[in-house]
Each structure stands twice: as C-alpha cells, then as structure tokens.
Amino acid sequence: MRITKMAAPIRELAIFLLGLYIQCALGHVIELNNNFLEDRHKGSWLVEFYAPWCGHCKKLEPVWHNVGRSLQGSPIKVARVDATRYTAVANEFTIRGYPTIKFFKGDQIFTHNGGRSMEDIVQFAQRAQGPAVRELRSVTQLNDLRIKHPVFFLYVGDDNDSELKTAYSAIAEDYVLKGYFYQAPPTILPQDIKVDTLPTVLVLKDRKYFKYGGGDKALLKDFIELERFPAFPRISGDNINELAGSGRRIAVVVIEHSSVPTDVEEDTRVRDMLQELAKGRDTEFHSTFLYGWMDGTELINQITMSFVSTPAIIVLEPSTESYYLPDTPTAGMARPQLKGFLRKVISGDAPAYGGNSFLQRLKRVFYDFFTGVTSLFRAQPFIASILIGLPTFVVTFLCYSLCTTEVVDDMEDEDDLSEDEKEDEDRIDRYEEVSGHMKKE
C-alpha cells in the first residue's frame, strides 16, 4: 500500500522533469507564424525556414536547437517557421528551398550559404550581428585570434578619423559575411609584427602577416578581396561557392586518403608541391589563382561530370564553368611542369573543357540522373529496384501489347452467323445476281 502511495508522486516528478528537459532543449528556439512580418524589425533574428516533410530539415533540427542553446543570452533570437504553413512569410522573403537560413537585423537581411554545423551557423549569426569592425585591446586578444581565425584583417592606428579607417570600415560593412575585421592601437602588436608607417592595414593568415601597400579605397578593396582566403584551404561543398565567387581561377589538387600506401606517398608529394607554390605567393600567379585541395573525388566528379583518378591537378574557371587539365599525368609531375601548365592557362593556350553551353547543360541533366540513380542503388537497392523496375516493366508491357495487337476485320466470319442471317445473305446475293442480268438485257 505504501508503494502505491509513493508511485504517484514519483510519476508526477518524472513527468515534471521530462517537461523541464523538453522546455530546456526546445525553449531556445521560437516557433514563428505570419506575425513575424511585423516583428522582424524588433531586434536581431536568426530564422530557419523549413518544411515538415524535408529530410534535410529533420537532419538540421537537433543542430538548430543547439544553435539556440549556444546563442542564449545574446541579443540574437533564434527561431524557425514552417514555410509550407505560413506561406505569407515564405513569399515575402522568396523562399525557394528548404531549409533556408536567414539573419534579420533591421532592414538588413543576410542569407547563410555555408556549412550546416552548429559552429558554422553560430559564426554566421555573430558576423551578421556585427559590428563589422571589432576593437582589440590587448596582445592576448590578438594572439587568440591568430589561433582562432585562419585569416583576418587588422587596422592598426590611433587615428580613427583617417581616410584609411573610413574606407576600411565601409569595406568591412560590405564584407561582413566574407571576412573578419578588427582594429587595434600599435601598442598591442606582438614583437613579430613590425609596422613602419601608421595607420596601416594588415592581413594575418597562414601564421604570417602581410601589409597593405597603400592607395585609394578601390585598391584597399582589391587587397582585401585578394587576401581574404587562406593560401591553401581544403575545398568542400561548403566553401566551393564562396571561392568561386571571388572570380579567380582555382588550382585544385585532388587526393584520396583511402588509397593504397604507395599512392598516398605520391598524393602527398603532389599536394605539397601545389601548397608550396600557394604559400610562396609567386607574383606571377598570386593575383590570378586561388589554391586548394580536395580529399576524395566526389565533388570534382560532379564539377567535371567525369570520373577523376588521383592524384590530379585541375584548374577551375568559375566564370565560364569550364576547367583545364595538364598535358602530362599529374603523377610524377615536377614543379617546372606545374608552372608551365599554369602559364598555359593564363595565356589561353591550355584547352578548356566543360562550359555552360546547351550541350553541356543537357549533359548535366543526364549525368545528374545517372549519379542519382547510382547513389540510390547503393543506399537502398531494394527500393531503387522497385522505383526503377516497376515503371520499366509497365512501359515494356504497354509497348509489347501495342506492337503485337492484331487488326480485326469488321466482317464477321460466316461460321459465326445464325441460320436466319445466312438466309438473308443468300436472298441479297440472288437479288444482286438478278439485278445484274436485267441491267445487261
């Protein structure tokens, strides 16, 4: 009897704790409706537009709750809205795919095009929130940033009213999602950073720093655009579009870490060769090429619509959606051959493959269909067999039926006629025979 009396309070406590856990786990994310059209100017919002049936949205759901938990206490409100239910909101912001992540701050709207990990999304929100230029007050802060960010820009100077600072701040506003921008007095610079003239702008990347050469705002923007990427990043589906948006050619080395040991050695040698060229900042190529490496061939196969073997060096031309291949095999290639290949790309002597012509777009359709079917068979062979085999069987059966159908004469066989019908036909035949004789006479 005592056990029965104690069971009810324990059950109530368990329900209370479960409800508290759900509130803690989900309470950091606000569910929006059409009222968001009026509320979006009230503070800063990080919003996911989702569809309940979307598999990518379901995969993002736990990540999104972690984003809400991570940004708790910040001025950024994390929310999401069912775009299939609240269509007025989706139409207002031209939502075409799911999930779509946008950041709202006053009249400003930023769209997230990067990775979908918690770190990527939180980083996007913090950069969009601003300020565009953050102030550093100690050498410790500066050294921490050198560890945290592979690339960032630093305005050094005490004069915050200089023309350089004004231009720097304006560009930082435009590039708020494309880079990290800071300002600091010269007194906090570590000993390994030497500055001769003030004010100036530095880029700190790849454990080195490089100075802006001076000039007007346009030249400063060119400098920032040129230096805003690491010298030799790993290229993936998360950053390929951002790299392509720079307008520069991308020299890529493709390797496969899962290869046999002898191939790993050659992959590493070719990768190191391109990396040395990238970090050497050779003036002949520095302003023309971005450099990077890919682990695996899946992404490069999608770009070239072919099956690339590793190691491979390929130059991508984002402006024309084309690519270039060296004349000699990548395996065994030496640095002079690599430079000769890049020179041919610059001069236009290297043949271009791919492109955005009608035939290439048509090829893309067939390639995407083929790779999609292949991936489906690998992931779900039984379901793929049904989806592909059943329509094929139906179409084949219909074609066979149409091709083997015999034409039936409208005249019925005499054997199928009744006795009365036969007598009627005999009378008609005799009548026609008599009528024929009369006409002859």
Give the SS3 label for residue 388: helix
Indicate the residue type of 262: T
Two tokens, residue 205: 């990347």
Closest by CA to 109, choosing from 202, 44, 50, is 44
Helix (H) or strand (E) holding 314, with range, is strand 312-317
Distances (CA, A) of 129 to 81, 242, 312, 421: 20, 20, 40, 95
Concatenated DSSP letters of 99-132: SEEEEEETTEEEE--S--SHHHHHHHHHHHHS-S
- Using an 8 Å Cβ cutoff, are 331 and 311 in contact? yes
CA 354/CA 314 separation, integer angstroms: 12
- Using an 8 Å Cβ cutoff, are 101 and 46 in contact? yes
CA 235/CA 237 separation, integer angstroms: 7
Q: Is the dihedral of CA 307, 310, 314, 319 positive or negative?
A: positive
Q: Is the peptide bond before 336 cis (omega within 30 degrees of 0)?
A: no
Concatenated DSSP letters of 141-169: HHHHHHHH-SEEEEEE-S-TTSHHHHHHH
| Other Cβ atoms within 10 Å of 282 Cβ, number | 13
CA 212/CA 187 separation, integer angstroms: 19
In the DSSP assignment, the letter for residue 394 is H
Q: Which residues are catalytic?
A: 54, 57
Two tokens, residue 90: 């989706």
